[in-house]
């Protein structure tokens, strides 16, 4: 009987010890998940705005893109994206900024391998123009999917603290990218509304065009479409790293008629 009680006692100690180790491990894993406060805040924001898998479930999007500079020049295009592969297409009915020397419709595309350009149905192979297409296509796609891509691999998160702007309290998170060949990468400084968790505004650089020291400030307004919050109205202009609104007019960007699940396929992005 004494031997039996001793065995039970030893077994109990082992079980308690194992349970303690499991609990300890769970705590370690939980802490590891949020060891970076900047990433934690972004993750909570995406819980509300949606993650990239939500876009993949909706397969594709078609919308009207309007971009107007302070001098009144405007681009208006029909944009189409396939989220699996980040394929992109734009049909420009107005292009006072993008190739204004061309008259009539222009089409830009990325089929997953190649960037291409057509003018009134004819393919253009001008390398200078194609470099512009190679910037426009991924940039337009990224602006649309940016919020859902804020947890992509290779991002670096730095929590910069809190700031009150126009009676709204914000958490500030700086996001940069893993650099290749020590080349400058874009920086995004997010201002996350503490109450709503929306990113009301952010600072950004454009390393490809040498805009690194003086960032742009972008202010966002959202609309809910198919259970996703999309920042469909945007204003931006030059600012500083304190996110001050400097003098000068705004660049205006508007996305309208946004529709997901249009049964697009890869052939819709091919230069045919």
How many CB atoms are located within 10 Å of the residue 209 CB?
8
- 35 in a structural domain: no
> What Rg value do the Cα atoms of the chain yield, rounded?
24
**Do β-strands 74-82 and 87-95 pair in parallel, antiparallel, or remain unpaired?**
antiparallel
- 17 in a structural domain: no
Closest alpha carbon to 115 in 101, 103, 129: 129
pLDDT of residue 34: 59
DSSP 249: P
- 9 in a structural domain: no
Q: Which domain holds residue 137?
A: 40-269
Of the candidate ranges 4-18, 57-71, 252-266, the one whose mean pLDDT is the lowest:
4-18
Question: From CA 66, how far away is CA 98, in angstroms rounded?
Answer: 12
Give the tokens for residue 176.
């940069």
CATH number, residue 76: 2.50.20.10
- 124 in a structural domain: yes
In this predicted structure, the answer to whether residue 226 has a pLDDT above a threshold of 90 is yes
Residue 128 zone, left/alpha/beta (φ > 0; ψ -120 to 50; rest)? alpha
In this predicted structure, the answer to whether residue 250 has a pLDDT above a threshold of 90 is yes
In this predicted structure, the answer to whether residue 240 has a pLDDT above a threshold of 80 is yes
- 19 in a structural domain: no
5 or 60, higher pLDDT: 60
For tokens 């126009």, name the residue.
Answer: 166
How many alpha carbons lie under 13 Å from residue 244 in its C-beta half-sphere? 7
- Residue-averaged pLDDT of the chain: 88
Report the pLDDT averaged over residues 5-21.
40
- 18 in a structural domain: no
- 220 in a structural domain: yes
31 or 129, higher pLDDT: 129
DSSP 76: E
Report the pLDDT averaged over residues 220-248.
95
Into how many domains does the chain fold?
A: 1
222 CB-near residues (< 8 Å, 6+ apart)? 198, 229, 230, 231, 232
Question: From CA 195, how far away is CA 183, in angstroms rounded?
Answer: 37
Report the pLDDT averaged over residues 169-176.
97
Report the pLDDT averaged over residues 28-38.
60
Q: Name the range with the highest mean pLDDT among 15-29, 31-45, 217-231.
A: 217-231
Q: How far is CA 8 from the centre of its chain?
A: 58
- pTM, two decimals, is 0.84
Distance of CA 268 to CAs 63, 91, 112, 171, 246, Å? 15, 12, 12, 41, 42
Label residue 29 by pLDDT band (50, 70, 90): very low
pLDDT of residue 212: 77
Give the tokens for residue 17.
């010890």
- 77 in a structural domain: yes
Question: From CA 211, how far away is CA 216, in angstroms rounded?
Answer: 9
């Amino acid at each position: 009987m004494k031997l039996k009680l001793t065995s039970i006692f030893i077994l109990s100690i082992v079980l308690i010890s194992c349970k303690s180790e499991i609990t300890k491990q769970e705590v370690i894993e939980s802490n590891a998940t949020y060891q970076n406060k900047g990433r934690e805040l972004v993750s909570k924001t995406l819980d509300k705005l949606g993650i990239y898998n939500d876009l993949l479930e909706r397969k594709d999007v078609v919308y009207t893109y309007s971009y107007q500079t302070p001098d009144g020049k405007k681009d208006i295009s029909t944009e189409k994206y396939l989220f699996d592969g980040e394929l992109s297409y734009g049909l420009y009915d107005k292009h006072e900024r993008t190739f204004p020397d061309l008259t009539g419709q222009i089409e830009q595309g990325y089929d997953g391998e190649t960037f291409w350009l057509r003018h009134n149905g004819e393919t253009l192979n001008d390398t200078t123009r194609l470099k512009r297409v190679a910037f426009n296509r991924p940039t337009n796609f990224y602006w649309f999917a940016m919020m859902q891509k804020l947890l992509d691999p290779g991002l670096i998160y730095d929590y910069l603290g809190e700031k009150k702007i126009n009676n709204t309290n914000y958490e500030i998170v700086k996001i940069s990218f893993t650099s290749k060949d020590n080349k400058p990468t874009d920086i995004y400084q997010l201002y996350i509304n503490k109450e709503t968790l929306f990113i009301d505004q952010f600072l950004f650089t454009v390393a490809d065009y040498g805009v690194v020291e003086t960032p742009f400030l972008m202010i966002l307004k959202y609309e809910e479409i198919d259970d996703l919050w999309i920042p469909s109205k945007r204003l931006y202009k030059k600012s500083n790293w304190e996110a001050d609104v400097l003098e000068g007019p705004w660049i205006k960007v508007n996305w309208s008629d946004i529709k997901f699940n249009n049964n697009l396929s890869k052939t819709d992005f091919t230069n045919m």
